[in-house]
Structure 1
Amino acid sequence: MRRSFPLILLSLLILTGASLPKSGPIPIKKPPAEVETQKAPTPEEKPAAPADDTKGNQKQVPTEGQQPVPQPKPTEGNEQPAKDQKPVVDEKDKRADEKKEEEEKPAPIVYPPVEPENAADYARCLTDLKAIGATFVEAKRIDDGKGCGIDKPLEVTNILSGVTLAPKGLMRCETALALARWTKETAQPAAEVAFDKAIKIKRLNQASTYVCRLRNNATTGKISEHAHGNAVDIASFTFSNGTTIAIQPRDEDGTMDGAFQRAVTASACLYFKTVLDPGSDAAHETHLHLDVIERRNDYRYCR
């Protein structure tokens, strides 16, 4: 029965005059398959490691095809000059700084020239020095700069006849004459009283005569009278019996050595304008400093 159904349907179509189409329906074409397949995304390259600059700060180095990160502009008043660009210096401020530096500089030291000897006084001094028995020679003019020097220096070997200055020393005639008179008129008589009339001073042992330096060998301060030939330092006395008395602190020394040193120290102020002994300061503990510096009203400084 099922097999005769198409025959029955065909008979009905013929009877009703219906006709079959000449061709069946045209199938709709399927869209063509995509030929190209989507490529897998290429992984991005990692950015290069940041390079360190000379100051230890890291710089961002953009990779190829990557846009550099814009840097923020400095705000007004906070601009940083380029590495090779010199900062602008205000001329007014520069001149003010230079003026301030000039004002802060210490004033240059003006040293006095070597003082010339008065011809008449010098000739008189030479005559007196020879008469008292000193032995000396006139030396060449000394000018060591910085205020140091002697116009007419003497090189003294014997301060009196039979009394040696050891070692020989350079000084002005006025200094040598004061030393000779002090030795003859007070130091020698004091030795005879303290020890024996037969005891004579045979040698004055000096620690310094002319030397270009400041007072007490300091690095700053006033120039020493030694630098003008006005001073001599006596370190000890040597006597005819072979004994030597060294200059040292003797304020509490009850011996004849102490009495002799105190006596000659006190009497030196009659001949010299400055006398400094071991009791004056630490710089003079081993000698007597004697000088002929001129002071107003013939003032004496004896300590």
Structure 2
Amino acid sequence: MRQAGIILLCSLLASGATLPRHGPVPVEKPENSSEPIPAPKPDGPTDNGSSATGKMESGRDLPPGWKDDALDAMPPAIVEIEKEDPTAYASCLDALRTLGASFTEAARIDDGQGCGIDKPIEVTEILPGVSLKPQGTMRCETALALARWIRETAAPAAKAAFGPDTAIATLNQASSYVCRLRNNGTTGKISEHARGNAIDIASFGLKDGKTIDIQPRDEDGTLNGAFQRAITATACLYFTTVLDPGSDAAHETHLHFDVIDRKNGYRYCR
């Protein structure tokens, strides 16, 4: 059988017959034709936001004859602000009041393109005697995680590191709610700060006037270094994202905490 196949192949080649080709066949321009050769379809997204499948990045089907100017004329996609569950929100406020935080409920924030908070609060004291400077605007869930972290781990760690009479008097924050992309980028995903889910801590002010600045301390053998490493590690018990000066260049001068909701309770801490 194999020998017969070889003989047949040789006969076809001798007669000048064209063998079938596998894979895509290039488009040949007909002679005396003014029609342009169609360009190959790209594998990925094109400059106008569409893809080779005839869909925009958003997944919408492109109509026949779609042109760039038609895309430019489209209104931007509307991103809705996540609505707070009334029961969960009321429970959060009760828990925050029980801890002794000082805050006021504020009007709904909607800065467009997903930036905003359905039920924001403005926090001036995260715990009795522990001021948030400047005051921060955030979701209640963010404030509650921050208050619990200070009360249950940061405050005891300060006493262990600097003496039993030590108390945290000020939490100096670098950023709470702000409408921006991650790491202040010009492209990319929206920041959790833009949803009220995040808080950045730049330093701690102690009752005796001492200030503990957040800075790279992985190799710091002082009590300041031990304090910062301890509170960063414990923060992952309260927040779903914890980034410190060892994470990247964008976080060298502060701790970033947020309460983004991930599948299966996953947490990102480094």
* 1:149-160 alignment, distance < 5 Å: 149-160=116-127
Quote the offset at 1:110 in angstroms. Answer: 2.9
* 1:123-134 alignment, distance < 5 Å: 123-134=90-101
Find the partner of 2:84 among 117, 121, 139: 117
Quote the offset at 1:99 in angstroms. Answer: 3.9
Unaligned ranges ≥5, structure 1: 1-97
Q: 3-state SS of the aligned residue for 1:113?
A: coil
- Which residue of 2 is the match for residue 195 of structure 1? 162
- TM-score normalised by L of structure 1: 0.65
- Which residue of 2 is the match for residue 24 of structure 1? none
Q: 3-state SS of the aligned residue for 1:116?
A: coil
Quote the offset at 1:174 in angstroms. Answer: 0.3
- Which residue of 2 is the match for residue 161 of structure 1? 128
Matched, 1:291 2:265: no
Find the partner of 1:266 among 220, 233, 247: 233
Distance of 1:137 and 1:101 partners within structure 2: 47
* 1:83-102 alignment, distance < 5 Å: 99=66, 101=68
Quote the offset at 1:112 in angstroms. Answer: 2.2
- Which residue of 2 is the match for residue 77 of structure 1? none
User: Larger C-alpha radius of gyration, 1 or 2?
Assistant: 1
- Which residue of 1 is the match for residue 222 of structure 2? 255
Report % sequence identity.
67
Deviation readout 1:83-120 (Å, 9 max, x if unpaired): xxxxxxxxxxxxxxx74546997x97634211111000
Distance of 1:230 and 1:99 partners within structure 2: 39
Distance of 2:222 and 2:206 partners within structure 1: 17
Which letter maps to 1:183?
I
* 1:1-303 alignment, distance < 5 Å: 99=66, 101=68, 110-303=77-270
Deviation readout 1:209-249 (Å, 9 max, x if unpaired): 00000000000000000000000000000101110010000
- Which residue of 2 is the match for residue 64 of structure 1? none
On the 8 A contact 2:173/2:200 being kept in 1, the answer is yes
Distance of 1:248 and 1:236 partners within structure 2: 9
Distance of 1:181 and 1:111 partners within structure 2: 35
Which letter maps to 1:121?
A
Distance of 2:102 and 2:118 partners within structure 1: 19
Which letter maps to 1:116?
K
Q: 3-state SS of the aligned residue for 2:103?
A: strand
- Which residue of 1 is the match for residue 39 of structure 2? none
Distance of 1:222 and 1:111 partners within structure 2: 15
Distance of 1:276 and 1:111 partners within structure 2: 30
Deviation readout 1:3-37 (Å, 9 max, x if unpaired): xxxxxxxxxxxxxxxxxxxxxxxxxxxxxxxxxxx
Distance of 1:236 and 1:292 partners within structure 2: 20
Quote the offset at 1:131 in angstroms. Answer: 0.2
- TM-score normalised by L of structure 2: 0.73
The count of corresponding residues between Structure 1 and Structure 2 is 206
Distance of 2:191 and 2:100 partners within structure 1: 28
